[in-house]
């Protein structure tokens, strides 16, 4: 049975998240329905990252097994034709080894968080970034972010409903940089806890506003308590950018 690897882009605004849930539209669900419409089979679509409601993807990866040996470009075009009008696009499809698994074969996941740092309301970036009207010191945020790098117990930055077996993760990258009136936070790791990136971003914004110091952020990490976390950044600024294999 051929296995296909899909590269997917989507606007997460209308979805309950990647994963299928009762009573809500999901990215996984609309792709499953699109496959059923053209291949006439019910399959399981496995994704690399279970993005939350409102979170976007520029480079989500998924795999699916199909009974028929389709040309990859035919799968791509057939899926895109049936995904309309949902804001989901299959950018590329390729055949892959049966041993490949979109989630478990991943070596690193890369996320971007967009903050628009201005007084004016969002127009073009509405539902695609977090507007923070108070001035942010991106350099201070970056310096503080380096205190979170490495292998730690990230309980402080973990959602209460997180299902991961352990709160210990290794954070490879957490960079903060300003680009005009935007502040970009880029995070990379093999895997993340539920809400980890958004929790770290919310706490870094407190640093950028001058309410927290580097030491305050480090103390929050060391507390290993959800109560020590700053506000959780909203989902609309978060993007799954790339998955490495």
Nearest-CA neighbor of 201 among 161, 237, 241? Answer: 237
Average pLDDT rounded to a whole number, residues 143-160: 97
**What pLDDT, in 10s, does the model give residues 22-32?**
889 999 999 99
Average pLDDT rounded to a whole number, residues 74-82: 98
Least confident of 30-39, 73-82, 141-150, 158-167: 158-167
Question: Could you say which of 11, 33, 52, 244 is catalytic?
Answer: 52
Residues 86 and 24 in one domain: yes
Parent domain of 64: 3-96
Residues 197 and 85 in one domain: no
pLDDT of residue 95: 98
Residues 121 and 182 in one domain: yes
Stated as kind and residue range, the H or E segment containing 28 is: helix 27-39
Average pLDDT rounded to a whole number, residues 82-94: 98
Residues 121 and 226 in one domain: yes
- CATH number of the domain bearing residue 206: 3.30.70.660
CA–CA gap between residue 145 and residue 221 (Å, rounded): 11
Residues 43 and 124 in one domain: no
101, part of any domain: no
Residues 64 and 127 in one domain: no
Cis peptide preceding 85, ω within 30 of 0: yes
Mean pLDDT for the chain overall: 97
67, part of any domain: yes
Residues 79 and 161 in one domain: no
pLDDT of residue 15: 97
181, part of any domain: yes
130, part of any domain: yes
pLDDT of residue 23: 83
Residues 50 and 79 in one domain: yes
pLDDT of residue 160: 85
- CATH number of the domain bearing residue 62: 3.30.70.580
Local confidence band at 108 (pLDDT 50, 70, 90 cut-offs):
very high
236, part of any domain: yes
What global pTM score does this model have?
A: 0.95
Residues 166 and 210 in one domain: yes
Residues 140 and 215 in one domain: yes
**What pLDDT, in 10s, does the model give residues 23-71?**
899 999 999 999 999 999 999 999 999 999 999 999 999 999 999 999 9
Q: How many domains is the chain partitioned into structurally?
A: 2
CA–CA gap between residue 16 and residue 23 (Å, rounded): 9
- Spatial contact of 221 and 152, defined as CB atoms under 8 Å apart: yes
**What pLDDT, in 10s, does the model give residues 205-227?**
999 999 999 999 999 999 999 99
Residues 91 and 120 in one domain: no
33 given a catalytic annotation: no
3-state secondary structure 48-85: CCCCECCCEEEEEEEEEECCCCCCHHHHHHHHHHHHCC
Measured on CA atoms in the order 15, 129, 220, 171, is the torsion positive or negative? positive
In this predicted structure, the answer to whether residue 104 has a pLDDT above a threshold of 90 is yes
Residues 85 and 206 in one domain: no
102, part of any domain: no
**What pLDDT, in 10s, does the model give residues 176-189?**
999 999 999 999 99
* Cross-strand bridge partners of residue 4: 64, 95
- Spatial contact of 115 and 205, defined as CB atoms under 8 Å apart: yes
103, part of any domain: no
């Amino acid at each position: 049975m051929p296995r296909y690897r899909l590269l997917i882009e989507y606007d997460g605004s209308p979805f309950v998240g990647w994963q299928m849930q009762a009573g809500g539209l999901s990215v996984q669900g609309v792709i499953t329905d699109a496959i059923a419409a053209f291949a006439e089979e019910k399959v399981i679509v496995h994704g690399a990252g279970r993005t939350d409601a409102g979170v976007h993807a520029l480079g989500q990866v998924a795999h699916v097994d199909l009974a028929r040996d389709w040309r990859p470009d035919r799968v791509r075009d057939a899926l895109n034709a049936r995904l309309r009008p949902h804001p989901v696009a299959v950018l590329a499809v390729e055949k892959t080894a049966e041993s490949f698994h979109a989630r478990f074969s991943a070596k690193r996941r890369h996320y971007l968080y967009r903050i628009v740092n201005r007084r004016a309301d969002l127009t073009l970036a509405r539902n695609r970034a977090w507007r923070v009207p108070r001035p942010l010191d991106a350099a201070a945020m970056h310096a503080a972010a380096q205190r979170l790098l490495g292998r730690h117990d990230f309980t402080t930055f973990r959602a209460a409903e997180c299902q991961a077996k352990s709160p210990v993760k290794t954070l490879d990258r957490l960079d903060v940089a300003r680009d005009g009136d935007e502040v970009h936070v880029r995070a990379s790791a093999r895997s993340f806890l539920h809400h980890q990136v958004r929790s770290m971003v919310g706490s870094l914004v407190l640093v950028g506003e001058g309410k927290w110091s580097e030491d305050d952020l480090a103390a929050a990490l060391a507390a290993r308590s959800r109560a020590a976390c700053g506000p959780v950044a909203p989902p609309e600024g978060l993007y799954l950018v790339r998955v490495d294999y």
